Structure 1
Amino acid sequence: MDLARLKALRELSTRHTMTAVADVLCLTPSAVSQQLAQLEAEVGVPLTERRGRGVKLTHAGEVLVGHVERVLTVLDEAKSELAQIRQEIAGTLRVAAFATAAAALLPPVIQALRAAYPRLQITLVEMEPAEGLAALGSWSTDIAIVDDLGGRLARGGQTVKHVPLIDDELHVILATGHRLARKKTLGLAELRDEEWALDSASSVYGEFVLGLCRRAGYTPRVSAECLGSEIIAAMVSSGCAISIIPGLRLGQMRGSFAAVPLRPRIHRHISVAFRQGERTHPAIRVFVEQLLRTAKSLPP
């Protein structure tokens, strides 16, 4: 069985459309369809079936994908062992990270690794956590820095290893003269009547904050949907709005505002993810070790 065709089937198991698989594999939908048809001819049983506008795997397809996961993990282990035999940390390491974590963690990591391993090239691509895990699953990246706000972000299971980095506490930010700015903590119910500025660049984070408010019994009045923290900081500093911001982002924001922890305290858990079969790969090992040192050195 052809490995490229097996990878296409594996992608289809979670993406459910030929177009989505084609985008990930940099192919046309017709080429993906042809690959899967050839794979079905090789194995002699139907592997997919139409379901509405999408495509679903048959039982045989699901069984085969389970074997494909193990095969790909073994291949990753083989690459890692060969890299250890070469005793050289070199090549290109592809890293996906969402903006806040990338800005806070990666510059010192990349700087330290460039000095220690001049033949190791690190390339960074900004991706939201779900995108990063999807890229990891399709071999488009080697490392993904993710958080857990989106719940089950993407397929991973036993093929992806997560190493915890930071527990990042969420804060309410308000103008320094706001009537609630001197509070030790703030409950979401106390913010019911406020105007809000929310980050619309990350729909997952925005939806998470909206969900918190709805569980507290109201839908917030969002008067500013912002592409990033610069406008949020300006709106809050001027007294036009309040917002909820992760602590890691607070250090990157400029403005005059107060930051008050939520009550009860709410955290997002940030981790670094990589494929289980590459856990011993020398380049991934030194990157994760340096990342852990950097995360530990961050101020609380």
Structure 2
Amino acid sequence: MLNPWRLRLLSQLDSLGTVRAVAQAANLSASSVSQQLAVLEAETKTRLLERTGRRVRLTPAGLMLARRARAILDQMDGVEAELRSLGDEPVGQVRLGAFQSAIHSLCVPAVTQLAHTHPNLDIELVELEPHASMPALRVGDADIIITTTDFVEHPLGADVDIVPLATDPIVLVLPPGRAARGPADLAAYANEPWAFDMPKSYMANLATRLCRESGFEPRVVCRFSNYMMTLQHVEAGLSIALLPGLAVDPRYRVTTRELATPVTRTITAVIRRGAPPRAAVNLVLEALRRFRDLPIADPRLGDSRRILAPAPRSHAGPG
């Protein structure tokens, strides 16, 4: 009989690549992961792993089982949720991963509302930046993620469905009193001290690219993984920054300017395509749609992926 927990470890090995990475994700020791995978081989009476030097890789049989495991686990989750909700409202856990600025603007309002209307629904909210959220979705560590289709380092694939939520402009953030008329030309800020996100993050890569396209290498004086700390640093007059509009908390006394060459990111909710429909997941998606504030306007969404239709709006205008 296949053990779901061991199947999850095998699926994670396929996605994460190493036993050490699986152990870290599962909060286990590497030896414990190896032992459980060995038990799974005994259960299936099939060689699933082979060693190449100091590394372990999946055999063709292991690769097949790892990729079927995700669908098996999704089916089991769906059946359990369906059993719990028979004759009653949707219940069970939904794991929602989102980047910083979407948490306070979209997720917290949606989760707060659902806590009142569906108290038996258990929503686990996890901060996941775009570079981490798609791997988490694919290995089953998240049921829904909020990400951006513009994060080219981890493009969306044919194995997911996307639900458009909002578009969000990238703005220049300046200390109070630094306002100027009209959109900002970044070249005029080439000699300024800059506050950046952590290396290889979505905003760090985007800000670096925009500065270089404007003809200069930014002088980075600080890096924060928390937008609140960035806003505090800018408010103190110690730096300037490029941030998503949703990240600019009105509690901070900063000035924002649109860019002379507008840049926007498209915010979407994403679910695994092969997962069976779950009433609890659908409820969370509907709640997220209700709290979107901005129109969708990104032609890149019109590709071969199936796009789930947005919920009807109560007013005229873009959905």
The two structures have a TM-score, normalised by structure 2, of 0.77
Cα gap change, 1:278 to 1:115, in 2 (>3 Å): farther
2:161 maps to: 161
CA distance in 1, matches of 2:75, 2:30: 28
| Maintained 8 Å contact 1:134/1:155 | no
CA distance in 2, matches of 1:42, 1:115: 44
Specify the SS of the correspondent of 1:295. Answer: coil
1:174 maps to: 174
CA distance in 2, matches of 1:5, 1:134: 18
Find the partner of 1:293 among 264, 274, 290: 290
Specify the SS of the correspondent of 2:292. Answer: helix
Gaps of 5+ in 2: 296-319
CA distance in 2, matches of 1:70, 1:140: 14
CA shift, 1:81, in A, is: 4.4
* Equivalent AA in structure 2 for residue 173 of structure 1: V
CA shift, 1:129, in A, is: 3.4
CA shift, 1:12, in A, is: 0.8
Corresponding residue pairs, total? 295
**Correspondences of 1:40-79 after superposition (within 5 Å):** 40-41=41-42, 46-51=47-52, 54-79=55-80
CA distance in 1, matches of 2:25, 2:251: 34
2:252 maps to: 254
Cα gap change, 1:34 to 1:293, in 2 (>3 Å): same
Pairwise CA RMSD: 3.3
**Amino-acid identity (%):** 32
| Maintained 8 Å contact 2:9/2:37 | yes
Cα deviation digits, residues 224-258 of structure 1 (max 9, x gap): 3335334433443454422101010124451142x
Cα deviation digits, residues 136-189 of structure 1 (max 9, x gap): 44444433322345435499752x4331211111011224544xx424223443
CA distance in 2, matches of 1:251, 1:14: 36
1:13 maps to: 14
CA shift, 1:279, in A, is: 5.9
CA shift, 1:193, in A, is: 2.4
2:313 maps to: none
CA distance in 1, matches of 2:15, 2:93: 27
Instruction: Verify: 1:27 aligned to 2:28, yes or no.
Output: yes
Gaps of 5+ in 1: none
| Maintained 8 Å contact 1:137/1:155 | no
2:316 maps to: none
Specify the SS of the correspondent of 2:61. Answer: helix
**Correspondences of 1:124-163 after superposition (within 5 Å):** 124-148=125-149, 150-153=151-154, 157-158=158-159, 160-163=160-163
CA shift, 1:23, in A, is: 2.2
CA distance in 2, matches of 1:23, 1:66: 21
CA shift, 1:273, in A, is: 2.7
| Maintained 8 Å contact 1:201/1:227 | no
Find the partner of 2:190 among 192, 197, 200: 192
| Maintained 8 Å contact 1:130/1:154 | no
| Maintained 8 Å contact 2:91/2:120 | yes
CA shift, 1:24, in A, is: 2.2
CA distance in 2, matches of 1:60, 1:218: 51
CA distance in 2, matches of 1:266, 1:143: 26
Instruction: Verify: 1:95 aligned to 2:96, yes or no.
Output: yes
